[in-house]
Amino acid sequence: MLLVGWEAVFFWMLTLVALFAAVFTVSARNPVHCALFLISTLIAKGALFLLLRAEFVAGAQILVYVGGILVLFLFVLMLVNTRSEVENPFNRQDKVGAFIAALVGLAILGAVTYTQQRGGFFKTKPSADRMAIENAKPDPNAPAGVISADTETLGVTLYTRAVLPFEIASVLLLMAIVGSVLLARDRRQEETYD
């Protein structure tokens, strides 16, 4: 469960990248640069997901988040001629926001470290067979490409344990589509269809 060795190395590299990009996402002057840094954070996070053996989610994250949402962001950025802000947003006079955000971060960190101090997050030690699965080596003659069952398990979970949320999510997306179609109608369409 612990990321050790190369994984730890990868972890620290990716965290650095993620943090670095996150800071710049927030503080970049030009919104397009913000978008780019956001993309890099998200890709770094995708990689972190891979480290945490959540392959499908990593793929989905990049496909949907970066490929879909941020493309949309860039679209809108292009349509809306935003001028890059004159001064560094962080030295704006109302620093209260930053202060409070920092406070929230500190609070979370405090909570995390405190629990860490008091003996880590997970009291119960992993059960024996759990460890077995963890370290099990897939049998060599298994067909290639069947290394980890992450995607299959997730698929099964989605359709067995999380069916209701799945349906609700589909309805949500439908609403989003209808909503955006309505929002995007121009005046002429408005008259003709209403």
Partner 1 sequence: MMMTQGPWMLALSASPKWLESLVERLFAYLPAWLTSSLAPTEVADFIVWPLIQIGVMLVVVLTAVAYLTLAERKVSAWIQVRVGPNRTGPLGLLQPAADGIKLLIKEDVIPFKADKTVFTLAPIISMVCAFIVLAVLPYGPHYASITNINIGLLFILSVSSVGVLGIILGGWASNSKYPLLGALRSSAQMVSYEAAIGLTIVSALIFTRTFSMQGIVEAQRSLGIWFVLFLFPSFIVFLISVVAETNRAPFDLAEAESELVGGFHTEYSGFRFSIFFIAEYANMVVVSAIGATLYLGGWYVPGMDWVAARLPEAYREAALTLMGVTAFAIKCGAILYLFIWMRWTFPRYRYDQLMELGWKWLMPAALANIALTATIFIVGKELGLVRSAGGVLQMDWQGKLFFTLAGLLSMFPILALLNAINRNSKSFNLRAQRTTIPVSTRKVKLSPGVKAA
Partner 2 sequence: MYLVALVPFFPLLGFIVNGLFAKRLGFSEKVIGAIACAMVAASFVCSAAAVYEFSRHARDNKVQAAAKQREAELQARILGQGVAYDAKTDTKREAPEHKSDDHKEGAHEVVATPYVVTLFEWMPGGTLRLTLGASAGQTAEFSVKWAYQLDQLSGLYILFVTFVAFFIHLFAIGYMHGDPSFHRFFAYLNLFMFMMLNLVLGANFLMTFVGWEGVGLASYLLIGYYLKKPEAGTAAKKAFVMNRVGDFGLMLAMMATFAVFGTLDYADVMAMAKALPQEPFGLAALSFTTGTLTVIALLIFLGAAGKSAQIPLYTWLPDAMAGPTPVSALIHAATMVTAGVYLVARCNPLFQRAPTAMLTVAVIGIATAFVAATIGITQTDIKKALAYSTVSQLGYMFVGCGVGAFVAGVFHVVTHAFFKAQLFLGSGSVIHGGSPSGHQQEMTYYGNFRKYMPITFATMMLSLFAICGIIPFAGFFSKDEILAKTLHTPVFSHEVGLALYALGFLTAGVTAFYMTRLMCLTFFGKERFLEGPDFQEGHSEDHGDGHHAPASKDFHPHESPLVMTLPLMVLGAFAVVAGFAGVSEELTGGAFPNYVHHWLAPVMDATLYPEKPVAGVNWTEWLLAGASVVWALVMMGLAYFLYVIRPELPEKLAQTLRPLYTLSYRKWFWDEFIDVYLVGAFKKLSLGAWGVDFVVDSIVNLFAWLARASSVIFRTVQTGLMQNYALVMALGIFLFIAGMGYPLFKELFMPTDRPSPPPTPQTSRAAQP
Partner 3 sequence: MMTFLALAASWAARQASEPSLMERYVQGLKEVDASKFLVLSAIIFSLGMGGVLIRRNIIVIFMSVELMLSAANLNFIAFARYWQTQGGLYAYNGHVMTIFVIVVAAAEAALGLGLLLALYRNRETIAADEINLLKW
Residue list 117-156, contact with partner 3 (CB under 8 A):
120-122, 124, 126-127, 130-131, 134, 150, 153-154
> Using CB under 8 A, which residues numbered 109 to 128 contact partner 2?
110-111, 114-115, 118-119, 121-124, 127
Q: Does 4 bind partner 1 (CB under 8 A)?
A: yes
> Using CB under 8 A, which residues numbered 21 to 60 contact partner 1?
30, 32-33, 36, 39, 43, 46, 53, 55-56, 58-60
The span from the CA of 141 to the CA of 38, in Å, is: 42
Q: Which range in 16-24, 100-108, 143-151, 163-171 contacts partner 1 by CB under 8 A?
A: 143-151
Contact letters (x/-) for partner 1, 68-107, by CB under 8 A? x-xx--xx-xx-----------------------------
Inter-residue contact 105 to 23 (CB < 8 Å): no
Q: What is the three-class DSSP state of 175?
A: helix
The span from the CA of 149 to the CA of 59, in Å, is: 15
Residue 101, CB half-sphere, CA atoms under 13 Å: how many? 8
What is the smallest separation between the CB atom of 171 and partner 2, expressed in angstroms? 27
The span from the CA of 108 to the CA of 19, in Å, is: 16
The span from the CA of 192 to the CA of 128, in Å, is: 67
The span from the CA of 41 to the CA of 37, in Å, is: 6
Inter-residue contact 42 to 64 (CB < 8 Å): no
The binder of 118, among partner 3, partner 2, partner 1, none, by C-beta within 5 to 8 A per type, is partner 2
User: Which residues are at the interface with partner 2 (CB under 8 A)?
Assistant: 96-97, 100-101, 103-104, 107-108, 110-111, 114-115, 118-119, 121-124, 127, 129-130, 133, 149, 152-153, 155-156
